[in-house]
């Protein structure tokens, strides 16, 4: 009985996660959802990113990025991130290629480290 209910729970959870990861409009919801996934490690995962837009007013940078498994994103996508240090927005401009690490900080996806890609 126990094993059967675990299998059912997994089967129910997996497709939902896959759909959420591919749907950009629901990115915020996905993050809120993923907070209960405490098995997700806080390990730094470097990923390539292409700067699409810098919004200093909002304190955000829009990045086209590869998969970020540590944040439950299994595929490449374009989305806005907050940056840990607002000064970083002065160092970035559309078209820049970077490598970065993003973390979920209190439910907000935030670039916590970055470097210019060569």
Minimum CB separation of residue 116 from Cu ion in Å reads 20
Binders of Cu ion among residues 3 to 42 (CB under 5 A) are none
Residue from 17, 64, 77, 89 in contact with Cu ion (CB under 5 A): 77
- Told to check if 112 binds Cu ion by CB under 5 A, we report no
* For Cu ion, the closer CB: 77 or 89: 77
- Told to check if 50 binds Cu ion by CB under 5 A, we report no
Minimum CB separation of residue 39 from Cu ion in Å reads 19
Residue from 73, 98, 101, 102 in contact with Cu ion (CB under 5 A): 73
- Told to check if 83 binds Cu ion by CB under 5 A, we report no
What is the DSSP track for the chain?
Answer: -HHHHHHHHHHHHHHHHHHHHH-GGGHHHHHHHHTT-TTS-----EEEEEEEEEETTTTEEEEEE--BGGGTB-S-EEEEEEESSTTHHHH--TT-EEEEEEEEETTEEEEEEEEE--
All residues at 6 or more sequence positions from 74 whose CB lies less than 8 Å from its CB, including other chains: 18, 21, 67
Residue from 47, 61, 63, 79 in contact with Cu ion (CB under 5 A): 79
Binding site for Cu ion (CB under 5 A): 73, 77, 79
């Amino acid at each position: 009985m126990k094993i059967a209910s675990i299998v059912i729970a997994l089967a129910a959870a997996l497709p939902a996660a896959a759909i959420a990861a591919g749907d950009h409009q629901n990115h915020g919801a996905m993050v809120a959802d993923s907070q209960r996934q405490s098995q997700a490690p806080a390990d730094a995962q470097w990923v390539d990113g292409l700067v699409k837009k810098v919004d200093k007013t909002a304190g955000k940078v829009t990045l086209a990025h590869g998969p970020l498994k540590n944040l439950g994103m299994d595929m490449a996508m374009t989305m806005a991130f907050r940056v840990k240090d607002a000064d970083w927005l002065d160092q970035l401009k559309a078209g820049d290629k970077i490598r970065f690490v993003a973390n979920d900080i209190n439910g907000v996806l935030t670039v916590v480290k970055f470097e210019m890609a060569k």
